[in-house]
Structure 1
């Protein structure tokens, strides 16, 4: 398909970013793309981006109905290239009507418009409305970027329902971003305990820049900096008057990429008087910033008031000031928060699994994301060996004298006094145990990885099931519950009646240790594990829900015709569950073909993943499922069940089979082993898929949850300060 895109925008804002993303997507799908962009300097970067992606780029603009030369040039170009689709990106309702007419007269087969700003208020005039209604009859399809704009197009311009479609804006993945202090240094912004509020976009009246400055002046927030990224007609006035403002104003101009700017901020503000679904807002949400935004256009479709951000009415500086004050007072915005983090799972059997990895990664990343002056207190048991943590700066360890178990009946009683004594503003338990009561104003966050003890009663004994059930229910009292998947979120809602508005879905990540090693390391690992023989690999422990009997049955079928093949099962082979599985292997007469190397280091795991013919993960249920993603990161094709969240997490990058079906699992393994091209496709898809899961993003979104929990913490019963344990 031949697609010609036209955009007359003269600055690189959300519209041109949209064009760039769409161009890359069309080229990836192997369509021919010709992009027509304004010759203005502000569109140079977008022209380069489209050209580098592989599109043909022409600098051409039709400047209104009097630009007869521009119209003639466009008409000739369309007639010569005869595109299947002529796609116009509109920054106002009637902006490109001359271009539309020129394309139509040039013989364009199908004309599509994306309406990026149909509500722009200067064009709500009778003749503009009439011109738009007439031009709409020439269109084969109209795309609105939010439902609010679609409704406006129906009512104001009589756009027919059969040609109108809502396709919301999206954003590409961000690269790994610097920490706040590093980002501030890169941009020349104040360091230390400054609160930095930022906005990005055109510096024009319609963007509400004046409302933001008036609100900042009225907020009374000490040590405040307002940083503005962008250009526009207000810049000279802002430069003249900036020194008179009661806060520091930083004008950064137009930036190449918004990531570092967002990383430097404490709060992102979008005070616009007119918007559709701005990409800057979506990018700020992606980074995990607290949001203050006007209730206009499609913003309310992306931001729920009090959940993803605080919404204000347009042109209301007083409401913006109040929202800024509320967020600043919540703590994280001004560097005065003390966070308690229960890391005792690193002293239990959970240390070697996904919960342990989650805890370690957060402990390594969270302190770097907090503001200067914040402190994290890491709680460990004094009665167990201490894990090797190497905590970063602003982290302090407190050893608890209570019983050593990670989840105990004593915890709910002891935590309130402990939190009060240590002055904890927010307490996070990454493995279920939250206090029954807490000091007044202390927020709590619980991470619930899965509800396997409730969903699969046979997976634990009766006592464990009772304990887990109590702690799952107690997690509902937390200000925020973090879950790693939509599946776990829905389980909490269905089984325990959790409030969906208090649940934050934050996927886990894959660390830098998991990438394909050098060939010599892979060969050495294969030699150690199987004497150089080919093998399929499983990593994930010996719990009943891992369904290793199905894996063993499938391997017996496949190895019957592939005698040289081995099965390597990594995990705690010396544990009671590991010993029971080893006995099952012995009774099945497969001791020589099933290898149990125990737990491997991350480097050892990376080499084992990379050296395997396949990674097989037959779990009946997972709340997330890290090992398949780690395998993908190391270039290993993955076969997995669709149990629990696995289909959601792995998508079409893995070969999925029904849980518990050993025959289907054997068939999938046999197909993959016998089809090298199929394995290569799985490897390529896996590498793409795993890019979506980054621990840095997990940590950033966790900080955002902390902010929301602090802002909304309910008053609690104050506990006497004596009797600290």
Structure 2
């Protein structure tokens, strides 16, 4: 196949989507496909350094100058070229190839849902609402989508009016290999990092500082757990928060509520071996997010054999499967205290499992997580691409020497 991939420009400071585009490029090239990457280049943005003005200059580069330049490139690309948008946020570019074979990868619609008032925890400015409408108007002109989860598929239907039959669901693959680390190796790795090293010696959370990570809820949950330990005369496990340092009055207040003898450790920038070791040695993994695009850490923890507590809403419940332990979503505007007490009960129940019960859950979790660790996503994407080309009148089984699919 000839595959032309649209991705975010580097000046937008997006890391995950350019990384996703490079992953697609490398995987498709390794399979013998001809791949090109296309994005806006800094023209106006190059000369403007003031932060607010630079943002608007970037919009000029993306939405005025790039379409004009790409139309010239488009005339040079064969008609059997498949155009792939690595993110639905590139929607304003979709009209450029609306009459050519194309696919849009849809990751999550959190920004659009926020702009439409569906997520009150994340209010959106007037300009932000207009920007999301502009993006939606663009990708609504696309004909085929690949969603990373059933939740994203449902959101495309509900918030963008995309017909279900135009959306294929292909779950993400893990970006790295996650599996239990041998105990001795894990202990050594964590000891070098000055972190709790014994098996079952800590609770763990992995996540950024975004509003939907619910870090206030996690620390409040931990405080409730620690108070119950004090009442029972037992020592609470420390909580390792892998992510940015604490900030904001609400999180500081939650930390102040943690009783004496309990410890919350914040650590940022763990390398891959240390992260795997932390997953392996943790007694439980806490991930009660308010929302997620996918919820990678849930799968990572389960693949490492760690019991996982997460939110009983999609996509967390979709990704966590039957082996995860679930708590309700923290309601908007509600006091965190009652929710934290309920979640702490669930955590204490997880930690109290017998050896046999725990082993059963661990094996179930690892079996579930294995579906995300097989490289199946790339084959799933390519299968959808082939369908799109066939629908456009090109045969997937007739490949010319230069890698292009011959027309029927």
Aligned-residue offset at 1:407: 8.6
Alignment of 1:704 onto 2:383: yes
Tell me the CA shift for residue 612 of structure 1.
Answer: 0.9
Q: Secondary structure at the match of 1:610?
A: helix
Deviation at 1:525, TM superposition (A): 4.1
Deviation at 1:657, TM superposition (A): 1.8
Query: By how many angstroms is 1:569 displaced?
Result: 1.5
CA distance 1:408–1:664, shift in 2 (3 Å): farther
Q: Shift of the alpha carbon at 1:532?
A: 4.0
Deviation at 1:409? 6.4
User: Relative CO higher for 1 or 2, CA cutoff 8 Å, sep ≥ 6?
Assistant: 2
CA shift for structure 1 position 535: 1.4
1:205 match = none
Match of 1:491 in 2: 155
- For residue 367 of structure 1, the aligned residue among 21, 29, 43 is 29
Counterpart in the other structure of 2:172: 508
- Report how far residue 405 of structure 1 moved: 9.1
Out of 423, 426, 431, the position equivalent to 2:82 is: 426
Q: Which residue of 2 aligns with 1:570?
A: 242
TM-score by structure 1 length? 0.44
Between Structure 1 and Structure 2, the one with more helix by share is 2
Query: Does the 8 Å contact 1:483/1:489 carry over to 2?
Result: yes
SS in 1 for 2:103: strand
Change (3 A) 1:479 1:429: same
- 2:287 and 2:175 mapped to 1: Cα distance? 19
* Alignment-derived partner of residue 672 in structure 1: 350
Q: Provide closer, same or farther for how the CA distance between residues 430 and 601 of structure 1 changes in structure 2, counting only shifts above 3 A.
A: farther
Secondary structure (helix, strand or coil) at the match of 2:181 reads coil
* Contact persistence 2:5–2:38 (CA under 8 A): yes
Total equivalences in the alignment:
352
Q: For 1:290-439, what aligned pairs fall within 5 Å after superposition?
A: 332=1, 337-344=2-9, 348=13, 350-351=15-16, 358-359=20-21, 361-371=23-33, 374-377=34-37, 379=39, 408=59, 410-422=61-73, 423=76, 425-431=81-87, 432-434=89-91, 435=93, 437-438=95-96
Question: Which residue of the partner structure matches residue 219 of structure 2?
Answer: 552
Are the aligned partners of 1:551 and 1:665 in contact in 2 as well (CA < 8 Å)?
no
Q: Distance in 1 between matches of 2:377 and 2:388?
A: 16
| Alignment partner, residue 283 of structure 2 | 613
Q: Which runs of 5+ in 2 are unaligned?
A: 44-52, 331-338, 394-408
Partner of 1:459: 122
Q: Any stretches of 5+ residues in structure 1 without a counterpart? A: 1-331, 384-401, 715-725
Q: Please give the alpha-carbon distance, in whole angstroms, between the structure 2 residues aligned to 1:407 and 1:663.
A: 46
Task: Give 1:497 shift.
Answer: 1.1
Cα gap change, 1:709 to 1:477, in 2 (>3 Å) = farther
Partner residue, 1:105? none
CA offset digits 1:462-507 (Å, max 9, x no partner): 1434423432342221232221111211121122211212211111
For the residue of structure 2 that corresponds to 1:568, the secondary structure is strand
| Alpha-carbon distance change, 587 to 648 in structure 1, aligned in 2, over 3 angstroms | same
Question: Is the partner of 1:692 in helix, strand or coil?
Answer: helix
Which residue of structure 1 lines up, in the alignment, with residue 103 of structure 2? 445
Which of 1 and 2 has greater Rg? 1
